[in-house]
Amino acid sequence: MNFLNLIRWKNLLMIAFMQLLIKYALLEPFGVQTSLDGLGITLLILATICIAAAGNIINDLYDIETDIVNKPDRVIIGKSISEKTAYNLFIVFNVIGVGVGFYLSHRVGRAPFFSLFVIISVLLYIYATYLKSTLLVGNIVISILVAFSLIIVGIFELIPTMTPSNQQIQTVFFKIILDYALFAFSINLLREIAKDIEDIDGDYKAGMNTLPIAIGRERAKQILTGLSFFPIIGIILYVVSDLYKQPIAVGYFLLLIVGPLIYTSIKNFDAKTKKDMHHISNMYKLIMLFGMLSLLLYKYVILN
């Protein structure tokens, strides 16, 4: 169980689930021409979660000092798993992820796609070793990588099969994936800021320069509240412009995405303790899940 917690298996399952939703809830039901069969999407998921697992491990390796303060009861490296073992696991997962990515890129006839896996792996390492302690840059980079875990499905599924005759429909679905990637980016960015507020004590002790350390906890909360209005407004505009004729979809987005976002913004005003910010962080994770589950509604929505 310590090994599963080290690689953050719940987050890895979320990534795999999101990628499966894009393929089987968005692309397959509409007969979009794709390049990955069952084995292909399995390999893509394997490559993605292996590299993500490696990123989680290296992140924990460089977070030992902060974790001792922020979450002493959940420290794994140095207690249940040695630093040497953790580092070896980091290498193994990276080799597997990049190796599978190399094979998959050649399998779809797009060898240059292999570089994407290398870039992601390198960015996760740089994030853990340097960017995480840099004001907002680390938050933005890790949120981009979360968004890219969705975009990469579109890259491997749609681009290799794109022809002049199907380019328009392929582009429509790729744009839908980009919209969901933007949603994932915005919600994850909010969650990263909430986590920084939650972990301010340990981060300060480790000499990190996160947003709440740079401007204070209360001002960071104000910025978090302000930023939360962007996805709220964006989703409401989407509901009004594209879903107004679909009552099931409208109800879903308002009750399970917009509602929780407003609730979380209000809770942020009253957040005083570490436990309060942890609750807010978990709410953003739940909102992310509900957002991705909305892909299941697309067969009821008329695509323009």
Q: Which helix (H) or strand (E) holds 300?
A: none
Predicted confidence band at 49 (pLDDT cuts at 50, 70, 90)?
very high
Mean pLDDT, residues 4-26 taken together = 94
pLDDT at 166 over 70: yes
Q: Are 100 and 43 in contact (CB under 8 A)?
A: yes
Q: Which residues pair with 226 in a beta bridge?
A: none
**How far apart are alpha carbons 112 and 117 in whole angstroms?**
10
Measured on CA atoms in the order 7, 282, 129, 145, is the torsion positive or negative?
positive
Question: What are the Cα distances from residue 144, in Å, to 139, 182, 283, 304?
Answer: 9, 9, 20, 27
Q: Which residues pair with 81 in a beta bridge?
A: 77
Query: In a 3-state reduction of DSSP, which class is residue 141?
Result: helix
Per DSSP, 242 falls in state H
- Can you give the pLDDT at residue 100? 98
**How far apart are alpha carbons 18 and 163 in whole angstroms?**
26
Per DSSP, 24 falls in state I
Predicted confidence band at 304 (pLDDT cuts at 50, 70, 90)?
very low
User: How confident is the model over 119-152, as pLDDT tens digits?
Assistant: 999 999 999 998 888 889 999 999 999 999 999 9
- Can you give the pLDDT at residue 301? 65
Least confident of 47-56, 142-151, 177-186, 294-303: 294-303
Roughly how many angstroms between the first and final C-alpha of the chain, as a whole number?
A: 46
Regarding pTM above 0.75, the answer is: yes
Higher per-residue pLDDT: 302 or 68: 68
- Can you give the pLDDT at residue 205? 82
Mean pLDDT, residues 214-224 taken together = 93
**How far apart are alpha carbons 181 and 146 in whole angstroms?**
8
Name residue 269's amino acid. Answer: F
* Ranges of each domain in the chain: 2-300
> Percent of the chain at pLDDT above 90?
74
